[in-house]
Amino acid sequence: MLLAAQSIAEFIDSTDAWPLTWLNGYGIVVAAVIHALLLIHIFAISPFAFIWLERKVSGRIQDRLGPTRVGGLFGWLQSLADGIKLIQKEDLCPPAADSMLFRSAPYIVCVSSFAAFMVLPFSHTWVAVAADCGLFILLAILSLEVFGIIMAGYSSGSKWSLFGGMREAAQMVSYEIPLALCALIPVISAGSLNLGEIGGMQRGWLSNWFMFHDPFTFIAFFVYFVVATASCKRAPFDLAEAESELVGGFHTEYSGMRWSFFFMGEYASMFAVCGVAAVLFLGGWNSGIGPLDDLLYSWRASSLSGEGSWAAGYLANVLGAVIFASKASFGVFVQVWLRWTLPRLRIDQVMTTCLKYLVPISCFLFLGATVWPLALQLRTGRTTWTAPVGDRLSSSVVELRAERDKSDVAAVPSPQAAEPEDLKPETPEAPAEAVPSHAPESAAVEPESGRDSSGSVNAASSEVLAGATKKEVQQ
Amino acid sequence: MSGHSLLFTFFALATCLSAVAVVISQTVVRMAFWLIISLGSTAALFFLADADFVGAAQLLIYVGGTLVLLVFGVMLTASGPYLKIETSPGETIIAGMIGLLFLFIVYASISGVDWKSTPGDAVATDSPLDNRSGADGQTLRPVGLSLLGLRPDKDLSGGGDGDQPSTGYLLPFEIVSVHLLVVLIGAAYLARAKRTQQASAS
Amino acid sequence: MAAELHSYLMVGAVLFVCGVICMATKRNGIGVLMGVELVLNGANVNFVAFSRYTKLGLDGQIFSLFIIVLAAAEAAVALAIALNFYNNHLTIDVDRANKLKG
């Protein structure tokens, strides 16, 4: 994560320094171990911080002080004290429970929310797995967490747990639909599912954030946030563990470390969904202040190309990670704030909110976001208010793409036919004016997106990237 | 042993052993648990075979969607806390023997194929997806384009007919979309509460 | 190459056979459904392996995508039928489904 996996692997494979020579050939393994260790630390520290935050914020909202004793001024070691207390507790398994499932359920929750961090970018190129379908993988992994909860509810052998598990299953199956739809809305604007690229496109002033890309993405951000809150089973949607009705819901029978694994998973997935919100809507690791972003970008670019100092690029990425973490933490803070402000809904109200309101709203937003560039093009002649988002792709990404496309072109007799966009009949055949022709191209693609989301997103992405590659060729 | 084959062995064993555990276990929820492990490891095998989009789809649709639905069904149809519907041992033994025989037949037929000398050079010397449209398993864009009716991997490489571009999978994609809509309506119709009938039946 | 293809195909075969046995022996309707899922997954493994190690290319991956989607649809309909059956018979044992009109 701190460097791209590939560069660590290459460094270790090629090093001659004596303590490392015996590792030659195992570079990818070492890189994987380093990444896993870094991610485990983030995964461990974020619940640590957020549990303290939760207690402190809820105390303040209820006009209390919250924890003040452990660890100095603000009681910031309270989570550690909690953890030590939980380790000491006895690990109980009720006689009515199916013990194998009962014991393994917390690990499913914990592992799946941990694995989601694998594809979450913390700064430019600081991501463990830079997959092209990163957002898709992330949503897929987050949807596994529900299974641990259902297992826990079912195998506890208690009616309260069973009710909690049932509610969680029904709620998660319904809320996954608007979650995926809302996450796709900025993807339509970006034309990529790669979270790293989506973050990189939002460089510059605040208006470049996808939240302010068009009115539909603006509303989609709030809908996404509500749905994400529900998918982390946070109040007011925490019906699976509603204390007033179900004692403790699915974790009624759990104690000690297994109980705390559920909560580590919950707080980590809160951070994960808020991190996705930050990347998709709130500019990711970009500050939203144009000159600062451009400065950091130039540091990164010069260090990547080997001209500037390595330290400057590293510092820029550290700053980016700090910006990203503070945006995501603010999201978590708002979720905590909501918990102590709104009363809990009833289970039928939760389902009604999703199926009758959130799903139609997100479908409408999805359609609107696909029609928006077309409408804008008819009115003003361009598909976006500002420059096309593809132009803001960072140069390193474009270079990578260009290399890949070059190898494509090499395999083909006529390079002109190699551009994927030339297969589209609507596209004007004008390589000389690649930049102006960019807007009509994406307009030609996007009306189709209403029907087949994933497919045309890919097409749009290849359009954008092909446009970017053309510019590279021109230069 | 390289890292790739180590990972492959691990996930292949996880897939097969938990598939066997699905067959052996008696309660439905344990079956569902082992099925999750099996299908999740299959998704890992897909990632290892450079099919990252298919792997993610497997995780999202199969494990996160279909199996949750199945467990939901288990909960709705369970009449006792841990419903066990036992199979008679004789049937299990016969089924196991037939299964082993069948596995042996499949194994023999797989081993019987001489992949190297197959006419038409069936086995690629290196992955057909490398260096062309989806390096390093980045198959998202080619898969999406071919669902839209374009085949970058065939049309651009000169592999297909030069003047007649391949059609891709636009029509099957549309058919599947309509099919899903029909299924959605049909399932909702089938599963709706029929209180009057139930009252008359009991 | 051929050796790796061979091991993928064996994984597919094991999944397929387990699925068939599961379909044949389980008396719980939902257990039968799980067997179907295993069978379809065995086919999926084969398709992806062929797409990686033979000249089949992208087609194998597309086919496995369609299989995944259709398996989801199949599960939804079969589950609806199972729920209907449970509503009428108050059991999910498929051996009890021996009447045409319930």
Tens-place pLDDT, residues A222-258: 999 999 888 888 778 877 776 777 777 777 778 778 8
* More reliable by pLDDT, B54 or A317: B54
Which range, of A145-149, A267-271, A428-432, C54-58, averages the lowest pLDDT? A428-432
Tens-place pLDDT, residues B6-30: 888 888 899 999 998 988 888 888 8
Identify the domain boundary among A71, A88, A105: A88
Domain check: are B9 and B73 in the same one? yes
Residue A422's pLDDT is 38
What domain range includes position A428? Answer: 389-474
Residue C41's pLDDT is 92
Residue C43's pLDDT is 92
- Res C94 pLDDT > 80: no
- Overall domain count for chain A: 3
Mean of the per-residue pLDDT values of chain B: 76
pLDDT band per the 50, 70, 90 thresholds, residue A24: low
pLDDT band per the 50, 70, 90 thresholds, residue A415: very low
Mean pLDDT of A47-57: 83
On chain B, the residues whose CB falls within 8 A of the CB of A108 are: 36
**Is there a contact between B53 and C65 if contact means CB atoms under 8 Å apart?**
yes
Q: What's chain A's Rg over C-alpha atoms?
A: 24
- What percentage of residues in chain A have a pLDDT greater than 70? 72
What domain range includes position B99? Answer: 88-115
pLDDT band per the 50, 70, 90 thresholds, residue C101: low
C-alpha distance from residue B196 to each of A2, A339, B193, C88 (Å): 63, 42, 9, 11
What domain range includes position C56? Answer: 8-92
Residue A391's pLDDT is 62
Residue A473's pLDDT is 40
- Res A462 pLDDT > 50: no
Pairwise CA distance, residues A308 & C101, whole Å? 80
Tell me whether residue B155 is in a domain. yes
Domain check: are A180 and A295 in the same one? yes
8 A C-beta contact, residue A386 and residue A449: no
Mean pLDDT of B102-107: 88
Residue A300's pLDDT is 74
- Res A341 pLDDT > 60: yes
Of C56, C61, C82, the CB nearest to B77: C82
On chain B, the residues whose CB falls within 8 A of the CB of A162 are: 75
* More reliable by pLDDT, A42 or A218: A218
Tens-place pLDDT, residues C57-79: 778 888 899 999 888 888 888 88
Pairwise CA distance, residues B61 & A140, whole Å? 8
Residue A168's pLDDT is 82
C86 touches chain B (CB under 8 A): yes
Q: Is C100 exposed, middle or buried (0-12, 13-18, 19+ CB in 10 A)?
A: exposed
Domain check: are A105 and A140 in the same one? yes
Identify the domain boundary among A312, A345, A380: A380
Domain check: are A28 and A117 in the same one? no
B23 CA: distance to closest CA in chain C (Å): 5
pLDDT band per the 50, 70, 90 thresholds, residue A45: confident
Residue A196's pLDDT is 80
Domain check: are A265 and A365 in the same one? yes
* More reliable by pLDDT, B201 or B69: B69
Establish how many alpha carbons lie within 13 A of residue A143's alpha carbon, considering only the half-sphere containing its beta carbon.
Answer: 32
**Is there a contact between B39 and C16 if contact means CB atoms under 8 Å apart?**
no
Mean pLDDT of A391-399: 62
Neighbours of A19 (CB within 10 A): 7
Angle formed at CA B109 by CA B103 and CA B111, multiple of 5 degrees: 100
Domain check: are A304 and A334 in the same one? yes
On chain C, the residues whose CB falls within 8 A of the CB of B83 are: 28, 92
